[in-house]
Structures are given as C-alpha cells and as structure tokens.
Structure 1
Amino acid sequence: MPRYEVTIEKDACDGIFACLTRDPRFVEGEDGLATIDPGADPVYDCEGEVTDTDERVVATFDDDRIEEAKQAATACPTDAIVVEEVDR
C-alpha cells in the first residue's frame, strides 16, 4: 500500500468544506477550517499521524485510501489540499 501525506494549507482554506463530502477523515476544526481526524470515519478504523500547526495540517497515512484523499483535494475550490505519495 502507498504511504502518503495529506497537507492542508490553512491560509488557503476558506472553510467551504467540499473535502468533507469526499473523505470522512476531513472534519471542521475548532478554528472553523478543515482539519484531519483519522478517528472521525464511522466506517473504517483508520490510523494516521497528524500534525496541526498554525500554518498547516499534515497527515501521513499508510492505507489504501489515497484516492479518497485525492478526491477531497480535487473538490477543494481554493486548492488548499495537496496529496502526495512519500517514501516509506
């Protein structure tokens, strides 16, 4: 399975939340912007490492759900989300 990172640039996020409908790991954060919560998915028991700073959210996953993350990124009208495969 691919290991991949999902990055949300907070300064580009407008809180439109189109990503939430594509991947249930995306949720609304306390700041009113999108963030990632691996435990928010009601169907899959998902694990991931998430770093949330003032500038960005970076989550690393090692599962077969990269396409869902890419769909969330594509749905973002402000291009605030980047999904890329990373080395193991």
Structure 2
Amino acid sequence: MPRYEVTIEKDACDGIFACLTRDPRFIEGEDGLATVDPDADPVYDCAGDVTDTADRVVATFDDDRIDEAKQAAAACPTDAIVVEAVDAAEPSGPPESPEEVAE
C-alpha cells in the first residue's frame, strides 16, 4: 500500500470544516482550525503519524483511504489541505534491463 501525507496549512485554514464531512479523521483542533486525529474515526481502526506545529499539520498514513483524504482536500474552499503520495508501492517506468522483461 502506498504511503501518503496530508498537510494542512494553518495560515490558509479558516475553520470552515468542509473537510470534516468527507473524512472523519479531520477534526476541529483546540485552536479552532482543522487538524487530523486518526483515532477520531469510529468505523476504522486507523493508525497514522501526526505532527501538529504552529504553521501546519502533517499526517502520514499507509492505508487505502487516500481517496477520502483527497475528497476532504477538494472540499476545502481555501485550499489549505494537500494530499500527496510519499512513496509508491510499485516502481514506475520501464524495466531497467532486458532480463527484467523476460522474468
């Protein structure tokens, strides 16, 4: 499964919380802005690494829920959320050598 990062830029977040309706891992933080809490989802037992600083929230996941995170980012009217793959499960591009093609 590919790993992906969800980044919330706090200076762009207006606390509209459209993201909360698309992905239950998004919650309202103590500062009144969106944040990510993997334990907030009552349906899935979710694990993720979340770093919350004064400037941004960065959460890294390795589950199959990247589409939910992308929907939350798309719903953000201020474009404060970015979702991007950290690494791919499969290498992309052509094989390195003719031997790899034969295998």
Q: TM-score, normalised by structure 1?
A: 0.98
Instruction: Tell whether 2:44 aligns with 1:44.
Output: yes
- Match for residue 27 of structure 1? 27
Structure 2 regions of 5+ residues with no counterpart? 89-103
The DSSP-based 3-state class of the residue aligned with 2:82 is: strand
Structure 1 regions of 5+ residues with no counterpart? none
Which structure 1 residue ranges, 4+ long, deviate > 4 Å from structure 2? none
The DSSP-based 3-state class of the residue aligned with 1:54 is: coil
Q: Deviations over 1:62-88 (max 9, x none)?
A: 000000000000000000000000127
The alignment's C-alpha RMSD in Å is: 0.8
Name the count of aligned residue pairs.
88
Q: TM-score, normalised by structure 2?
A: 0.84
Q: What is the rounded CA distance, in whole Å, between the counterparts of 2:37 and 2:87 in structure 1?
A: 22
% same residue = 88
The one-letter code matched in structure 1 to 2:72 is A
1:5-84 alignment, distance < 5 Å: 5-84=5-84
The Cα shift of 1:2 comes to 1.4
Higher relative CO (CA 8 A, sep ≥ 6), structure 1 or 2? 1
